[in-house]
Amino acid sequence: MWKKLSPFKRFLIILISIPLGLLLIFKLFTNDKYLQIKRNEEVKNLEIVIPLLRKNKVTVYRFQEKCKVLEYNDVSYAYVDPEWTSKETCTYPLNNEPVEFDEKANNLLVEIKEALKETGIDIYLIDHISYTEGQISKANFNKSGFGRYRYMYESGRAITQYTTDNSNFWNYPINKDWYFQIEDWN
């Protein structure tokens, strides 16, 4: 059938098909339902990391090439490359003055990094981890990349619809324990 069409009609079909195809792809990837399904899958993957954090009483984790931070059992560890902008920008999430990594802390840092790698989500920072009766009740999983995007775990916090805390934060519900937050940092 395609060969029977005149070159002009083929050109028109292609001309119309390309924008329609791009529009379809755009709608698919910006569709709330698609994003909801994707975020549901991602938090299921992140939930695999929570027992590891809980078992070791981790309160802060950060892994970047020139900035590595871990806080567990009320001890803070940090490695800050001299080329990093400043020690304070690397270690700001810590609750205590950091010491150098020992072998056990370094092994735990790598174990968490590998567990996060298995989730398929590029998380560089987990902070604001708090515990209630030995269970993690809150944690922020910060995604790498341009912008400030994070998965917020708050056990039992039922966000049932889109909310905004103020003009800089937008919260999108995922399930009874998770929501996705976008921060405007400009």
Say if CB 77 and CB 105 are below 8 A apart.
yes
Q: What is the pLDDT of residue 77?
A: 97
Element containing residue 12 per DSSP (H, E): helix 7-30
Q: What is the pLDDT of residue 103?
A: 97
Percent of the chain with pLDDT over 70: 84
Q: Read off the pTM.
A: 0.78
Q: Is residue 2 scored above 60 in pLDDT?
A: yes
Span 3-15, average pLDDT: 79
Span 12-34, average pLDDT: 66
- Give DSSP secondary structure letters for 15-56: HHHHHHHHHHHHHHHH-HHHHHHHHHHHHHHHTTTHHHHHHT
Instruction: Give the HSE-up count for residue 103: Cα atoms under 13 Å, Cβ half-sphere.
Output: 0
- What is the C-alpha to C-alpha distance for residues 58 and 107, in angstroms, rounded to an integer? 13
Q: What is the pLDDT of residue 93?
A: 87
Span 123-151, average pLDDT: 91
Say if CB 57 and CB 132 are below 8 A apart.
no
69-109: pLDDT as tens digits:
999 999 999 999 998 888 888 898 888 999 999 999 999 99
Span 166-181, average pLDDT: 83
Identify the burial level of 113 via C-beta atoms within 10 angstroms of its C-beta, where 0-12 means exposed, 13-18 middle and 19 or more buried.
middle
Q: What is the pLDDT of residue 24?
A: 60
Integer Rg of the chain from CA:
22
Q: Which residues contact 163 (CB under 8 A, 6 or more apart)?
A: 170, 171
Q: Is residue 173 scored above 90 in pLDDT?
A: no
Q: Is residue 44 scored above 70 in pLDDT?
A: yes
Tokens at residue 95, please? 């609750």
Question: Which residues on adjacent β-strands are paired with residue 60?
Answer: 71
Helices (H) and strands (E) in the chain, counts: 5, 9
Among candidate residues 80, 30, 84, 60, the one with its CA nearest the CA of residue 140? 60
